[in-house]
Structure 1
Amino acid sequence: MVNIRDLDPSASPLDYYGSELRRLREEAKLKQEDLGGIVFCTGSLIGQIETARKVPTRDFSERIDAALGTGGMFSRLVGLVLRCQLPTWFQAYADMEARATYLATYQAQVVYGLLQTEAYARAVLASGMPENLDELVAARLERHRILRRERPPVVWVVLDEAVLHRPIGGREVMRNQLAHLLGMREDRWVQVQVLPFSAGEHASLIGSFNTLRFDGDPDLVYTEDVMSGRMTANPDTVRESALRYAHLQAAALSVEDSAALIARVMEEQYGYQSGPDQRALA
């Protein structure tokens, strides 16, 4: 077992979070079990977080802030803690994503990460068989916060139709995911188009990519391979990507027709059906 006295608060945001939680709990003259009772968790969980053996969630952090009267310190710190749970090669992209004023993406395989439900994200991330699945899911959901800030980025998404038909997580997960995409129509800053199978060959058969734009900084293009991701501000690459994306948007269904297709697939492929194994029927 990790001895909390051996923690170095400067070692990582998680270690700093744990050491501060312990310090403030002891200042309040509360045992771990006492604080756990106040925030509706076990004393064991408090101990695991204090020893940096478990990653806190945003909900936990908000409850701790209320219980210890920290002025929102843990709610601010947890974002950094969760960001550090992302793969090292992805953290730089996440930082840039959070600063972007415009995000454009073409996704050939899965729903864009910022629009994934928790259950869908869990199924996608589980496919890589990680040891820290809960932490990765929490980190992905934390990224969604940029869509709810006072001045959110414009997000334009083109999804290959294959994304709608690939039954990730089973029927219920997919039905809820597609319903979530339809619900995004209420957000004027998020637009979703579907590139239909009928488009045939198209401008990005090579795969998915993201373009990020900023106020006062060069545009970036981001791509991934099986092991890592790559960002570039090379003007030629950015220009080529912009051209390809324009062709994708032109070949895709309109936002309205895309919503109609999503709704049709949701009902026809993932509608409620009786059967002992709904995942197998999806």
Structure 2
Amino acid sequence: MGTEPRNPTALKRWLFFTLRRLREEKGFSRDDAAKAIRASVKIVEHYEVGRRLPSPLALEKLLELYGVPERVEFFIDLLARAKKGCDWWARFDFDTDQATLPPWFKLFLSLESEAVQIEGWDALVVPGLFQTPEYAEALVRASAVDDLSGDEIARRVDLRMARQREVLDRDGEPPIVWRVIHENALRLPAGNSDVSLGQLDHLLKLLERPNVTVQVLPSSAGEHNGFAGSFTFLSFPAELEDPGLVHAETHVRSLYYERPEELETYRKVLRRLYAQALPPERTPSMLRKVMKEL
């Protein structure tokens, strides 16, 4: 599949998501699956929520039950890779400092770094993949619930910069990144005026990349479909047969939407935001206009 997925957390998610999806699509119960592999229903549940990886034999039996024996070799390869290696963010994973990398954010970081397309809507701030270190630091300071030490702030900023390298500078073919950003987010006073101007200048440079597209939703657009909040839509390699997922982040957890009806709702929201926002070719002039007015 081109550049092979490297992050075990993402690989494990694809395995348990596929096993659950196929079982539900074929109309089998967990009891049916348990009988096929001579195991308990609890074991099948563990496989489907990611608490435990299946053995190669159990995986083969389940895929045969679900009518896709031709996928056995592919997913056994994923299983083998899921059992070795480590996620790119592991060096930031300190047991004593979950504030830098909370457990609920790890899955998203792994999946984002494997996505072939990253789309989304940003209502309040420039998205993390596009932030400069100075802008990121200003946001970390402003959004922190607790007082942070200088080292804690630096670790969070370092994680964000590493995330950008893993996604935007990925070896092989980088993902298509398409974001709609509200004009108010571009005008947000983050740090001082030099920080804000530096961030907008960085956005202009990112637009030179063929895989990066930004649209601006002007304040004059008035009411829009993005009032419910910012989100990211991740799409994955076609050979995974994964419909993708939507991620929304809060102060206490990540929310993931992956049911067909949920994905269709968010796809409609994105389509409307694309239509309401200024066309991509007008983004550079809009950024320069905001820079002059800051």
Cα deviation, residue 78, structure 1: 7.3
SS at match of 2:227: coil
**1:100-179 alignment runs, 5 A limit:** 100-127=115-142, 128=144, 129-131=147-149, 132-145=152-165, 146-149=167-170, 150-179=172-201
**1:7-156 alignment runs, 5 A limit:** 79-82=89-92, 85-127=100-142, 128=144, 129-131=147-149, 132-145=152-165, 146-149=167-170, 150-156=172-178
SS at match of 2:229: coil
CA contact (8 A) 1:105 1:209 kept: yes
Cα deviation, residue 178, structure 1: 0.1
Cα deviation, residue 141, structure 1: 0.5
Cα deviation, residue 89, structure 1: 1.4
Match of 1:23 in 2: none
CA contact (8 A) 1:209 1:223 kept: yes
Any unmatched runs of 5+ in structure 1?
Answer: 1-75, 270-282
Residues 255-274 of structure 1, C-alpha deviation per residue, up to 9 Å, x if partnerless? 121221111111221xxxxx
Structure scoring higher RCO (CA < 8 A, sep ≥ 6) equals: 2
Letter in 2 for 1:136: R
CA distance in 2, matches of 1:78, 1:109: 28
Letter in 2 for 1:97: E
CA distance in 1, matches of 2:91, 2:226: 35
CA distance in 1, matches of 2:222, 2:123: 13
Matched, 1:257 2:276: no
Count of residue correspondences: 194
Q: Sort the Cα spacing of 1:83 and 1:211 in 2 relative to 1 into closer, same or farther, 3 A.
A: farther
Runs of 4+ off more than 4 Å: 76-79
The alignment yields a C-alpha RMSD, in angstroms, of: 1.7
Match of 2:293 in 1: 268
CA distance in 2, matches of 1:89, 1:77: 14
Larger deviation: 249-258 or 111-120? Answer: 249-258
Using the size of structure 1 for normalisation, the TM-score is 0.66
Identical pairs, percent: 35
Match of 1:188 in 2: 210
CA contact (8 A) 1:82 1:142 kept: no
Matched, 1:225 2:250: yes
Using the size of structure 2 for normalisation, the TM-score is 0.63
Matched, 1:201 2:226: no
Cα deviation, residue 91, structure 1: 1.1
Cα deviation, residue 130, structure 1: 3.5
Q: Sort the Cα spacing of 1:159 and 1:78 in 2 relative to 1 into closer, same or farther, 3 A.
A: closer
CA distance in 1, matches of 2:274, 2:110: 26
SS at match of 1:188: coil
CA contact (8 A) 2:126 2:185 kept: yes
Residues 21-60 of structure 1, C-alpha deviation per residue, up to 9 Å, x if partnerless? xxxxxxxxxxxxxxxxxxxxxxxxxxxxxxxxxxxxxxxx
SS at match of 2:251: coil
Q: Sort the Cα spacing of 1:134 and 1:94 in 2 relative to 1 into closer, same or farther, 3 A.
A: same
CA distance in 2, matches of 1:123, 1:200: 28
Match of 1:236 in 2: 261
Cα deviation, residue 79, structure 1: 4.6
SS at match of 1:186: coil
Any unmatched runs of 5+ in structure 2?
Answer: 1-85, 95-99
CA contact (8 A) 2:87 2:110 kept: no
Q: Sort the Cα spacing of 1:199 and 1:89 in 2 relative to 1 into closer, same or farther, 3 A.
A: same
Larger deviation: 153-162 or 229-238? Answer: 229-238
Letter in 1 for 2:226: S
CA distance in 2, matches of 1:153, 1:77: 18
